[in-house]
Structure 1
């Protein structure tokens, strides 16, 4: 079994443990699985950094949208500054923008080479926790978007 096939098996195993169907939460158009946990939706997918599967590195990525970007330029600056500060304090995750959707997201990623099921679960669990934490924190500091 290839490393990619192992990750697909991990996704199916997690879905079984959660009582979900991996095929039902998969979107063929985006090539991603969508997990809901609390108020957060976590997009899970594989991405290749390189020309192809043989020459590139494949990463397991998780993205959770947490906050809508304000149109007020002063508040945007304050929000971006806060994001940079948070990125220096927290390991294993990063806050990033999806500009075309005007969203701030929490992102976690890991090279799939050598990743076991425990590490896979840690990435999912961590992003779920941090998405909820940062969503609450940003709303408290900057108000509802």
Structure 2
């Protein structure tokens, strides 16, 4: 699998432009939020940083799929009460629709994450996905840090 395609599909170009359009609709400029070298977007909403990229997954049979990935680091995994912490994350996954809470491999951070294949995605859906992730990330980072203070980290 590969995260960086050699050629950009028309659908990736379309979604790239829609992400730029969304950022501009909330008062940001492309220059402020887009890293053209890494092809990533980053901005802050309240206390949460929002990171966006389009990832191409290539399969052995020669096909590929492109995914919109939106995420925000919420907090480091606490040193105490891990069972209670992980149970709380699973319960949040059940109640916070449209966002999942994840821990990336080799990471000590909990992320609010949204992913979707970009096929058929229009601007309204993209804007809803980003706005929902922004809302939950800004809410959950504070809630989790207050509920599970990181005494030993």
The count of corresponding residues between Structure 1 and Structure 2 is 142
* Structure ranking higher in helix proportion: 1
SS at match of 1:70: coil
Out of 41, 47, 56, which is 1:39 matched to? Answer: 47
Would you say 1:71 and 2:47 are equivalent positions? no
- TM-score of the aligned structures, taking structure 1 as reference length: 0.84
How far, CA to CA, are the matches of 1:31 and 1:51 in structure 2? 21
Gapped regions of structure 2 (runs ≥ 5): 1-8
Out of 68, 78, 100, which is 1:94 matched to? Answer: 100
**Aligned alpha-carbon RMSD (Å):** 2.2
Out of 30, 33, 38, which is 1:25 matched to? Answer: 33
Q: Please say if residues 67 and 116 of structure 2, whose CA atoms lie closer than 8 Å, have aligned partners that are also in contact.
A: yes
Pick which of 100-109 and 132-141 moved more: 132-141
How far, CA to CA, are the matches of 1:117 and 1:6 in structure 2? 9
Q: Please say if residues 11 and 22 of structure 1, whose CA atoms lie closer than 8 Å, have aligned partners that are also in contact.
A: no
Gapped regions of structure 1 (runs ≥ 5): none
